[in-house]
Chains A and B, each alone.
Chain A
Amino acid sequence: MSTHATGGGRAAALRRRLQPPRLPRPRLPRRDRGVLKKEEIVPWSLGDKIGLAAAWFCGLLLCAIAGAIVIYMLVRGLQYLSVQALFQHPVILSTTQSTGTAGGYLDPIEGTLILTALGTLIALPIGVGTAVWLSEYGRPAWLARAVESGVEIVAGTPTIVLAIFGLLVFTQGAFGFLSFTAEGGAVFGRSFFIAGIMMSLIAIPLIVGATREALQSIPAHVREASYALGKDKISTIRRVLLPASRKGIATGTTLGMGRIAGDTAIVVLLLGATPIEPQGDIPVLRVLQGTGSTLTSYVYNNSPAGEGNAPQKAYAAAFVLLILVIVMNFVVDLVSRRRSDPWAR
């Protein structure tokens, strides 16, 4: 049956009048048929086709790159990774040793974990507090704008700049308790404490951003429902708003942890990139006051660009770092797992 020849001459004439002849497309399906026949489907324009193809291509390319990174690191890493190396302290390199086989990377692994935990612990309360202030108080307006700009500036600062700034600040005498003071009174300015503080500056903007977004996505009537029960702002924030934005806080924290674990500049400048060398005698503090290294600085030092030039160890350590970050993200995601948006309707 032809798709056009129903309805008689009058309807056809009316249709011709209603439909401008110069635009035969889109040919709409007729009401009484309901189902589109294949030839009635209007083909996409060339631009749309190219756009769709480009979108597909970009998505697949990113997938391929991510897969390539993981697979390549998996192959190279597993090739050189030995279980005992995970639990061995590194050996201070010297020209006489065969650097390729000696020592493990226990210290860098510990260092990464300590530094990430420390940086996150510092960043979390500051970041969440800033976000709550910005989202729930934010007065006076000029101060809120200033805080926002401040967070953005910190977010935009290269970590090497943060590192050199940290070195400048924390070698001042007043901060001697954070690292150790040499005999002449000079403050060393390199320790887990100091690196952790500067690392937290990387994570804070991410936590602020994610928390703030989560807080702002909570409808106003939820806050009002709490006020209407005779609750004040503080209890509302604590009992309703923060639990509701848990997911956002976790997202920001995950991003921050990944960035901290992945940063090299601050480690090299502010952590010393040495094996873990505690200072002083107070049990836990002595580690935090001392220097150490992370997997990133270990990879850097052992890569062909670094002084060690032991690429096998660099590959293996890089693989461990990758796994570590993936596991960390997974754990935080698991901890915060709730229905994604409680108010999504």
Chain B
Amino acid sequence: MGGAERTARKRRQEIAAKRAVAAARQAKSDRNKVIITVVVLVVVAAAVIVGVVISNSQKNKTADAAIPTKSVTLSSGVTAKRDGATVLVGKDTAKTTVDVYEDFLCPVCGNFESTYAQQLEQKVNDGTIKINYHLVNLLNDRSDPVGYSTDSANAALCVADAAPDKFMAFHASLYGTQPEEGARGYDKNQLIKLAQDLGVNSPTLSSCVNGGSYNQAVSDAYQKARTDPALAQEVGGQTGFGTPTVLVNNKLADWQDPKWMDALVSQS
């Protein structure tokens, strides 16, 4: 066996060995690529599932819970009368009329109520003012599922029909534990339960709430308010209708300024 032949064979063996190593490395690399692809898809799928689970647990806080009741004491002579999507609360003799446009989902309406509800109730009770509550569904697509604005406004109007003396308490209760925008509102059963807890015993209430008797009236009231130039206000550089909108004797009031309440005294 010549030296040249040996060298050639050795070289062939080395080449074969290198190829085997490269092939093994390639196989390992390919296998790792498959594993990486699977891991990526699993991570992405897991993220989506975790997201839905977290979101559901955060958003459904209002599920299966009774809405806490708030009572409102009204003095004798104070009545609540529904007309369309508006409820007029007060004594007939009150000279000053306050109009409030509200959506039960609207957080700023919640601020307005928590700040002024007690003072307004007092002025209603002492006969200084009467309040027109205009229930609109501006934020109807901002609950998840959509529709809380309409359902809650309809239910409040149903209560105003079935038990006028309970309207203010129903209204106060919904603002007292207000659902968050973008989250679950209260469903119809919870709204009916709240009315019952407040002592509304009318047999027609549940059919009124479930059937959405005043849904159309609420939507119409919103469309009317939205296009009414007398209700347009400038908010953030944009002029338009928003909630809450407050009027005193048909004039827009800047309720963010606490002095607006003074007008309720001086005009009475």
Question: Does B associate with A?
Answer: no
A residues with a Cβ closer than 8 A to B are none
